[in-house]
Amino acid sequence: MSSPTPLWRLLVGTLSRPEYTSEYFDTFYPEILSERMYMDPVRWARFKWYVRFIKKLNVTNLRWEYKHKELICALIAHNGGETIFPSLRTLWWPPSSYSESSYFPLFTSRLRSAILDLDRCTARDLRPPAEDPESDGFLSRLLASSPRLDHLTVCTPFHHIGTNFSGLISSFEHLRVLHLTARISLTSFRGFASLPRMEYLDVFHVSLDDQHPLSRPPSPIPAPHLQFLHVGGTSLSLTQLFFALAAPTLASASVRATWDAPPRTIADGHVDYATCIEALATVSSPAALADVAIALDEDGGPRIREHLLDLLGPLLAFPNIARFALSCPTVGLVAADDHFWAISGAWRKLRHFRLVQAHWDPCVTVDPDDDESVPVPVPTPQVLECFREDCPDLRELCLPHLDVHADVPALFTRVPKERERERERPCHGLGRLSLEARDVYEDDEDRIMAREVMRLGDEKVGEWARYILRLFPNLDGEECLRYCRWSGASSGWMEVFALVRDLGKSQGGSISDGVSSRS
């Protein structure tokens, strides 16, 4: 059950209103406690008969959360301090502090999943574990009462937890799933990942051990059954972690790497995202990894430049990648069309490819012959073709800004002759195509002015719309347009996708029909 509200009606008796809304609960809650309705033997027996079937209990995120907690604790006391839910297997509970013990009787040998949410506690009620000697009391009781727990979620306000706290978590030998919104050491991570049944590990932030010298590689972290990993940290700490981690069955990796040292300046900090991703590529086996999401310094920091293939190159050895996402608002990407052909050729099973909060770096290089600055080329809209040709299962494609004022390319100019017959293959199934803003840090006023100055003509809009629909005739134009609005795409692309939407709605003829109107 999601909410215990319907249960409390069993203690009230015959009522005129059958609804189980929060407002209704508020009308009879005071009466249950003040009148101690649970003292009635008939009502109590009826209540006890029904609650023995309850396997899931969730009192988080409810309007009267604290009232539900108060009532449950009163009923536990009336039951001699024993649980009132003997068959409970899943518990969602929001403790008011690490040391709260009123809900401990709900921990039983049958419990398999515990989600404990301390996020909404006040600073007065919730000190960091390092400052609270009783912070691990609930884990000690949970371990003693529910040793076969296989799913544990502890949501904290991103506190750093110490060795006692993490050591207790590592003592749950049957744990398969762990979510921990806390800061932990690399040693603590090793204890979690090495659990014999661990399959899904989600940790907010991993730091290097204070006593660990960077010159010495960390001890190996064997994780033979780990399939899903979500982890954050600095690029340096994650590099150390990934080079140590051996998870041959890892299928999904979500990584959040940040700048290594405040203040966030090039002089005082350090960042090496390329090596961090290179280390990530050593964790799993080539056949296992299928889903990768990487976020680079989304919290801000100095703007740096990275070559796209330096970041993605080590991952191209994984042919079964079906989902890939890269978010890098502070990183200017350097890439060319050929780089995308390399990516699409390596990841032919792609279903989702997203470069979000990303932009091309407007960098220049110096020609060694005449010392003149030469602009570095950026990807052109023709990169769309490589995904059409190499990734037949692709359903979502999101790319940084592409120049809508460039010439509309001819179709299939890069397809090798031996593959010419494949041009008549069934229509590509891509459903959503979206393009990002020119620069995620571009001033809104500058963006508006640029849109007004560089508007497309009707003819160019029609050419682009027909080109895109020839590549991807199954696009959901409305969805494409909605996402482009959200991401701040250029006005030119907004016009193009508006026409793509309209052509899709009025599709009665062929895509090559003339264009008579646009929105």
DSSP codes joined into one string, 404-471: TTSPPPPTTTTS-GGGGGGGGSSPP---EEEE--S-TT--HHHHHHHHHHTPPPHHHHHHHHHHHHHH
b/e sequence 421-454, b meaning 16+ C-beta within 10 Å: eeeeeeebebebbbbbbbbbeeeeeeeeeeeeee
User: Helices (DSSP H) in 194-300: which residue ranges?
Assistant: 235-244, 273-280
Q: Is the residue at 3 inside a domain?
A: yes
Task: Tell me whether residue 65 is in a domain.
Answer: yes
Cis peptide before 319 (omega within 30 of 0): no
| Position 8 confidence tier, pLDDT thresholds 50, 70, 90 | confident
Domain presence at residue 71: yes
Entry pTM: 0.86
- Output the six-digit token pair for 57: 């209990």
CA distance 479 to 476: 5
* pLDDT score of 518 more than 50: no
Structure tokens at 432: 């959503």
Judge whether residue 270 has pLDDT over 70.
no
504 part of a folded domain: no
Q: In whole angstroms, give the CA distance from residue 332 to residue 330.
A: 7
Q: Check whether 257 has a pLDDT greater than 80.
A: yes
pLDDT in tens, 324-351: 999 999 899 999 999 999 999 999 999 9
Residue 220 to residues 9, 239, 429: CA-CA distances in angstroms? 55, 13, 43
Nearest Cα residue to 40 out of 66, 15, 71, 75: 75
Q: What is the 3 state secondary structure string of 63-114?
A: CCHHHHHHHHHHHHHHCCCCCCCCCCCEEEECCCCCCCCCCHHHCCCCCCEE
Q: Which runs of E-coded beta strand occur in 186-269? A: 200-207, 221-222, 228-234, 245-246, 252-258
How far from 318 is each of 291, 363, 467, CA to CA, in Å? 10, 30, 31
How many whole angstroms separate alpha carbon 247 and alpha carbon 193? 9
Mean pLDDT of 221-248: 96
Range of the domain at 27: 1-88
pLDDT at 1 > cutoff 80: no
Question: What would the pLDDT profile of 353-388 be if each residue is shown by its tens digit?
Answer: 999 999 998 766 645 565 566 677 799 999 999 999
Side-chain-facing half-sphere of 380: CA atoms under 13 Å: 13
Min mean pLDDT across 161-170, 296-305, 504-513 is at 504-513
- Number of domains, the chain: 1
Cα Rg for the chain, rounded, in angstroms? 28
Q: How many whole angstroms separate alpha carbon 422 and alpha carbon 31?
A: 74
- Residue 129: how many CB atoms within 10 A of its CB? 20
- The answer to the question of residue 62 being in a domain is yes
Residue 478 lies in a domain: no
Query: In this predicted model, what pLDDT tens digit does every residue of 390-441 receive, in sequence order?
Result: 999 999 999 999 999 999 988 766 655 445 555 555 689 999 999 988 765 5
Q: Of 121-135, 182-196, 353-367, which has the strongest mean pLDDT?
A: 182-196
Helices (H), 251-348: 273-280, 308-312, 337-346
pLDDT at residue 19 greater than cutoff 60: no
